[in-house]
Amino acid sequence: MSFLFGLVFVVTFIVSTKCIGNNRGYACGPLYITVSASPKSYVVLNWHFTCPDPPDTLFLLLTDSKTYEQIQDSVDVKNRRRGTYKTQYVLSREPDFPGNWSENGQNPDLDAQCLPLVVESLRNGNLVDSKCLEIQPTWMSKYGKLRLGSMMIPGTHNSGSWRGQPFLLKNYILCQDRNWWQQLVFGIRYFDVRVGVYDNDEVYLTHGVARCTPLDDELDHVANFLRKSPKEVVVLDFHAFNNPVNFTISNHKIVLDLVRKKLGNFIYPRHEMHYDEGPTLDEVWSTGGRVIISYNRRHIVNENHWLWYEVSRDWGNVIHVDKLQRYIYEKTSRKHYGNPMTVLMAELTPTKLYVFLHPTSSLKNLADDVNPNLGFWLRDHNRSDNVNIIATDFFLGNDMINLAQETNDRKLFRLS
């Protein structure tokens, strides 16, 4: 009976909160939905209970507005304070975004919005907590007082390698599975950009020798997004220039002309006078420009006042999860002052030998080894306080976008 009552309560609770997104606190420690990379986009439930009398059951609910909520899966979490559980429910490659946040939607709703997937925790049939999988198209608007170099910013590694022309070892080429529109709407704000110039001066995003997807489509996504979401700031970090091998001044010019043509007035030029940690978001907003183009070639930056110097990079270059954990602990144990931004690359990097020995494995499998740990590692001891940008593979597999906001809320609170 009390179980039934719990369910009724659950249903009304969801109906009344569906449209406005999650509230930020947790009733009993972190509870969130992620999405696996391999072999498919399975929905994963994640929990880390910290209250004295923790929940015993988790539900995954489908909450399509036209039907009643439907329990899709459940897991017994008695005596398991922390864990992840992979359900069999697959998130589509192009989910319907709520609030007119699809690529062609008009007048999108600026409040965060739930996808129709909810995780609930229950104790003895009573609801403890409930979180949906959210899009976060406007999360930066709360953080005007924070500086670019001191806030936490979620990003992707090899951001353009979400699809590619058929090539050898595709398993080890693709680091993402969502285009930049999806990355932006879900909340990613830092992009690790690698480019090549090909026949007819076409510019592609690349990963090493692999040609992935045209740059201009993705820049269109950035411009479209900045038009729709008035306070978001996006960093495009041009890190590598892969093709031709001898990337000439005229190759650079082709890339830079394309960036200027697509992003124009949205570009936020570098400022020679900086605080150590860069401008606040308030200061950025007051200028009108909201996309930062950093460029990993100093002689090119010196000659183009609108480019920023490269974002400094903490890259562990390791293939074992425990080594990555040690690297991340080391890098988050002290504060860095950078350029003013620093990016922590939080993914495994296979060696040639590893690829040779594991030809059927993939970056997806490696991401699934790392991503579920990131939230646990970085929430412990508030380690995320010392992370500026974090770039991950298959970003829906971790909840860095939520963690960034939790961390930035703390920073804002300390300022007050």
Ligand X SMILES: *[C@@H]1O[C@H](CO)[C@@H](O)[C@H](O)[C@H]1NC(C)=O
Task: By CB under 6 A, name the binding residues for ligand X.
Answer: 99-100, 106-107, 109, 245-246, 381-382, 410
* Least gap, CB of 413 to ligand X (angstroms): 7
Residues 6+ apart with CB under 8 A from 400: 154, 374, 375, 378, 390, 392
For residue 334, what are its two tokens?
């002290």
Find out whether 407 and 387 touch, Cβ atoms under 8 Å. Answer: yes
Residue closer to ligand X (CB basis): 78 or 414: 414
* Least gap, CB of 7 to ligand X (angstroms): 29
Residue closer to ligand X (CB basis): 283 or 409: 409
DSSP strands (E only) in 169-286: 190-197, 203-207, 210-214, 234-243
- Residue 221, helix vs strand vs coil: helix
DSSP 83-148: EEEEEEEEPPSS---STT-STT-SS---S-EEEEEEEEEEETTEEEEEEEEEE-TTGGGG-TTSBT
* Least gap, CB of 383 to ligand X (angstroms): 9
d(CA 50, CA 82): 9
CA distances 384 to 28, 202, 274, Å, are 20, 39, 24
* Least gap, CB of 328 to ligand X (angstroms): 16
Burial (CB count <10 Å: 0-12, 13-18, 19+), residue 344: buried
Residue closer to ligand X (CB basis): 317 or 382: 382
* Least gap, CB of 324 to ligand X (angstroms): 22
Residue closer to ligand X (CB basis): 123 or 228: 228
* Least gap, CB of 137 to ligand X (angstroms): 12
Among 25, 24, 48, 46, which Cα is nearest to 34's?
46
Among 390, 367, 310, which Cα is nearest to 44's?
367
DSSP 265-334: GGB----SS--TT--BHHHHHTTS--EEEEES-HHHHHH-TTPEEPPEEEE----SHHHHHHHHHHHTSS
> What stretches of 350-399 show up as alpha helix (H) in DSSP?
352-357, 363-379
Residue closer to ligand X (CB basis): 107 or 200: 107
Residue closer to ligand X (CB basis): 196 or 397: 196
Residue closer to ligand X (CB basis): 356 or 413: 413
* Least gap, CB of 362 to ligand X (angstroms): 30
Find out whether 146 and 411 touch, Cβ atoms under 8 Å. Answer: yes
* Least gap, CB of 332 to ligand X (angstroms): 12
Residue closer to ligand X (CB basis): 294 or 384: 384
d(CA 38, CA 45): 15
Burial (CB count <10 Å: 0-12, 13-18, 19+), residue 311: buried
Strand bridging mode 31-35 / 42-48: antiparallel
* Least gap, CB of 168 to ligand X (angstroms): 20
Strand bridging mode 203-207 / 291-295: unpaired
* Least gap, CB of 248 to ligand X (angstroms): 9
Residue closer to ligand X (CB basis): 170 or 411: 411
Residues 6+ apart with CB under 8 A from 286: none
Residue closer to ligand X (CB basis): 101 or 186: 101
Residue closer to ligand X (CB basis): 100 or 302: 100
* Least gap, CB of 108 to ligand X (angstroms): 6
